[in-house]
Chains A and B, each alone.
Chain A
Amino acid sequence: MSWDWAFVWQIMPTLLQGLKITLLVTVLGAIVAAVLGLVFAVARRSSIKPLARGTSFLVQFIRGTPLLVQLYVIFYVLPDIGIRLPALVAGVIGIGLHYATYAAEVYRGGIEAVPRGQWEAARATNLTLRQTWVHVVLPQAVPPMIPALANYLIAMFKETPLLSAITVLELMNQAKSVANSSYRYIEPMTMVGVFFLVISLISVALISLLEARYGRKASR
């Protein structure tokens, strides 16, 4: 069997439809991950010991188990206790929760990298806790986090094909169904690979721009 361009153009609309879902999942998942990650990061710093310990364990557990299995749990186990989610929602929650644990680590690193002296200076000049966070800590903590968070965004984008296992019709699933109905695997599978490669290469280039702008000065 050899490469057939006519077939590629024929399946292109279907693949682009899948790509749209893939990008949608990535964006929604990123929002979930960014918010939940912040919750995890704050809960781990909490002075209530059981909360901090529990969160630490949860984060470690989620990081130590496969995303695919977590998706199965959300999609197959939750309906048993009465929570029935559409596949897309289950996928977004699963992938968002998984990457929230990675984002939490980035937030933690960023916040801890702000020197103690800054906190003390804020207290010495009588800033409130809110003012300390908004005007002193976050402006210094956030820029170094940006490249790291962007890296995880790409990683998340590349993991979205897993959602095909819980019947989300994203790029990979569209390619699989095209391949199964036409018995031609070369073109759909290769095109999916090309799509992912091109989008990630562009994003990697964007990240190095971000790094040049926001990266830690000391690491250069």
Chain B
Amino acid sequence: MGDWSGYIGLILQGALVTAKLTVMGTALALVMAFTAGLARLAPFAPLRWLARAYVEFFRGTSIFVQLFWVYFVLPFAGVSLSPLQAGVMALGLNVGAYGAEVVRGAVLSVPRDQYEACIAVNLSRFQRMRHVILPQALPLMLPTFCNNAIELLKGTAVVSLISLSDMTFQAQVVRAQTGSTLIPFATILVLYFAMSLLIAGGMRWLERRVTRGLDGVRP
């Protein structure tokens, strides 16, 4: 006992790993969400099926199973990933599958006449997406994306089980070394909660930004 500053330092190191995982995982999830979400609406059927299979597969099994599969089974196929890479990949692909449904739903909820207007003014498919559909769909996606990002943050705790030294892992280390249980776990609970509040706050700010100029357009 005694050296609490050292233990706090350990947990803060873990917090950094957790933050890194969350940011990198969210980035991958965002890319996957838009790729798969838009692919599900593609005019080319095999692309739609592929995206559908991806979404169903990753939503159908738990993040825990996926992580273990990526970490323990892929090496036999010759793909060896570090725990951090495995964590980012599993988290990003998992949350990306949920995000894909959000993207699809938001794009579909843009009224039909907007599409017709785009055809009438002769916009290309890309211009239509970029300038008309997505700016209207984005505000609808953000609240759910916020929840997804918090789910991802919570999911990062699972990587401690494949020996990545995130916050939860470090709390276990402190527990093992000091025998104290309440302090390390209470500390990380507060830190996780602070991070989720941070995400929620950031998302609210972003929401205000993207809805700027849309006043009166939406009910």
Contact = CB atoms under 8 A, between A and B. Distances in A.
B76 interface: yes
A161 B155 CA distance: 13
Interface stretch (B33-41, B63-71, B79-87, B114-122): B63-71
A185 B72 contact: yes
Contact of B168 (A63, A72, A196, A200): A72
A66 B69 contact: no
A73 B192 CA distance: 14
A63 B155 CA distance: 12
A148 to B, nearest CB: 14
Interface string B165-186: 0001001100100000110011
A52 interface: no
A77 B171 CA distance: 12
B59 interface: yes
Interface string B135-178: 00000000000000010011111101100000010011001000
A196 B60 contact: yes
Given A76-B181, A185-B73, A189-B72, A159 B62 contact: yes
B193 A66 contact: no
A197 B193 contact: no
Which of B65, B155, B171, B172 has the largest count of A CB atoms less than 10 A from its CB? B65
A197 B57 CA distance: 7
Interface residues of A, number: 35
Nearest to B154: A66
B189 interface: yes
Contacts of A192: 65, 68
B26 interface: no
Contacts of B16: none
Which of B59, B64, B188, B193 has the largest count of A CB atoms less than 10 A from its CB? B64
Which of B57, B68, B72, B155 has the largest count of A CB atoms less than 10 A from its CB? B68
A162 B156 CA distance: 12
Contact of A196 (B62, B76, B160, B161): B62
Contact of A64 (B63, B69, B161, B196): B196
Interface string B43-74: 00000000000001101111111101100110
B197 interface: yes
Given A80-B181, A190-B73, A67 B154 contact: yes
B62 A161 contact: yes
A69 B189 contact: yes
Given A69-B157, A80-B181, A197-B57, A161 B65 contact: yes
Contacts of B158: 66, 68, 162
Interface in A39-79: 61, 63-70, 72-73, 76-77
Given A68-B157, A193-B69, A196-B61, A185 B168 contact: no
A126 B123 CA distance: 61
A165 interface: yes
Contact of A66 (B61, B66, B155, B182): B155
Given A72-B168, A77-B185, A190-B73, A66 B60 contact: no
A66 B156 contact: yes
Interface of B: 56-57, 59-66, 68-69, 72-73, 76, 150, 153-158, 160-161, 168, 171-172, 175, 181-182, 185-186, 188-189, 192-193, 196-197
The 9 closest A-B pairs by CB, nearest first: A66-B157, A64-B196, A158-B62, A161-B64, A200-B60, A185-B72, A66-B154, A68-B157, A65-B192
